[in-house]
Structure 1
Amino acid sequence: MPELVLWDIDHTLMATRGLGRELWEQAFTKVTGVALREQASVTGSTERVILRETARLHEIPYDEDLFARFASALGEIHVRRAAELRERGHALPGAAGALAALADQGVRQSVVTGNVRQAAEVKLAVFGLDAYLRLEDGAYGEDGEGRPELLHTALKRSAVSPQGAVFLGDTPADVIGGREAGVRMVAVATGRTAASELRAAGAHFVLDGLSDAGRVLAAIGA
């Protein structure tokens, strides 16, 4: 087993079934005063990049102050609507079991996600997944723009070398970022990307899902 397993959140461990976009739109309108007409692509991206590109689509000047205010608003909205998230969203099949199986092996686990930290913490808590994770060792939307940068941040916080870590995600951006950061990349075809595309992107191993904990552990420990 590796020293550290890092997890993407959305479509790897859980799904929000459209509520995520609603919360994002609410935060965007709150901090900009502009109704959301179009959102930049979110797949495999980070909140910082999504906000910057969405602001550009609305001809709104972007700076770090805007992002800081947006991150705060988005986190607060997740806190206020946590019960709704629990009702509408769900942990993906096998997610809790996979996390528990790794914990039983004594493997340290955290997250690398484009979500801002407060939103990530709410999402994990409402589905009972946070108990298995050392969230202080992870990396979040506030920590950078791309997956390689976030992965390096998490590795530094965890004091683990790339060779001692495995990253699980569901997008080609996750796969490419993991390869660039030098970690073993296990892709999970539970999002919008087919298993064949994840293999083509360079994943070391591709899982159809997390329901078979034994297969998940085998992929991570291979």
Structure 2
Amino acid sequence: MPELVLWDIDHTLMATRGLGGELWAEAFEQVTGVALREQASVTGSTERVILRETARLHDILYSDDLFGRFADALGAVHVRRAAEMRERGHALPGAAAALAALADRGVRQSVVTGNVRQAAEVKLAVFGLDAYLRLNEGAYGEDGDGRPELLRAALKRAGVASQDAVFLGDTPADVAGGREAGVRVVAVATGKTSASDLRAAGAHFVLEGLSDTGRALAAIGV
């Protein structure tokens, strides 16, 4: 049984039905003074990379200070519009049950996500998932550019060796990042990537979703 299970958030545990993009655009305009015309690819990426590439598309000079102000603004807009997120978004089928089942078995759980921490905390709280997770042992968009870096940060915080952890995500970037970090990867085909493409990317196990709690636990190794 793994010592630590790490979860991606968006399209693995929940969906915000387009609201995430609206909140991102609002924070971007707030800190840059420029209306968002085009956003860089977000699939499997981190907020730091998305902001850097989106700033370039708008001829805006990127800096760590810009990212810091953007992270604060993005977190704040998530707090302010949390009720709207609850109305428009939802936890994915089986997500809460899988988290609860792992918690019942004493498995430590946290998140590895490209979201900035405050935004991640709001999303998890809105859908009642935060109670199962040790958020101080996770890693967030502030912690690096890519999944391998974030996973290593989470493992270090949790004091767990890579071979004793499992990571669940929905993108080829999640799969590649997990393999590079040396953790077992269970891919969930609840995002834009098909199960066959997640297998081709190198996932150790692929689930169509989390609705079958028993199957999810077996894939995780519990």
Shared fold (TM-score, shorter chain, > 0.5): yes
* Matched AA of 1:9: I
Q: Which position in structure 1 is the counterpart of 2:68?
A: 68
Match status 1:33 vs 2:33: yes
Query: Hey, which bits of structure 1, 4+ residues long, moved more than 2 A?
Result: none
> Deviation at 1:85?
0.3
Q: Indicate the percent of aligned positions where both proteins have the same amino acid.
A: 84
Q: Which position in structure 2 is the counterpart of 1:144?
A: 144
> Deviation at 1:195?
0.3
Q: Which position in structure 2 is the counterpart of 1:166?
A: 166
> Deviation at 1:57?
0.2
Q: Which position in structure 2 is the counterpart of 1:85?
A: 85
Secondary structure at the counterpart of residue 59 of structure 1: coil
Please give the per-residue CA displacement for 1:13-32, whole angstroms capped at 9, x wherever unaligned. Answer: 00000000000000000000
- Number of matched residues? 222
> Deviation at 1:163?
0.4
- CA–CA separation in structure 1 for the residues paired with 2:179 and 2:91: 26
- CA–CA separation in structure 1 for the residues paired with 2:113 and 2:181: 15
- CA–CA separation in structure 1 for the residues paired with 2:29 and 2:197: 35
- CA–CA separation in structure 1 for the residues paired with 2:93 and 2:216: 12
Q: Which position in structure 2 is the counterpart of 1:98?
A: 98
- CA–CA separation in structure 2 for the residues paired with 1:60 and 1:35: 12
Match status 1:193 vs 2:193: yes
* Matched AA of 2:16: T
> Deviation at 1:62?
0.2
Secondary structure at the counterpart of residue 206 of structure 1: strand
> Deviation at 1:192?
0.2
Normalised TM-score (structure 1): 1.00
Q: Which position in structure 2 is the counterpart of 1:13?
A: 13
Match status 1:45 vs 2:45: yes
* Matched AA of 2:140: Y
Secondary structure at the counterpart of residue 152 of structure 2: helix
- CA–CA separation in structure 2 for the residues paired with 1:166 and 1:190: 18
> Deviation at 1:191?
0.2
Please give the per-residue CA displacement for 1:89-121, whole angstroms capped at 9, x wherever unaligned. Answer: 000000000000000110000000000000000
* Matched AA of 1:204: H
Secondary structure at the counterpart of residue 44 of structure 2: coil
Q: Which position in structure 1 is the counterpart of 2:54?
A: 54
Match status 1:179 vs 2:179: yes
Match status 1:120 vs 2:120: yes
Q: Which position in structure 2 is the counterpart of 1:157?
A: 157
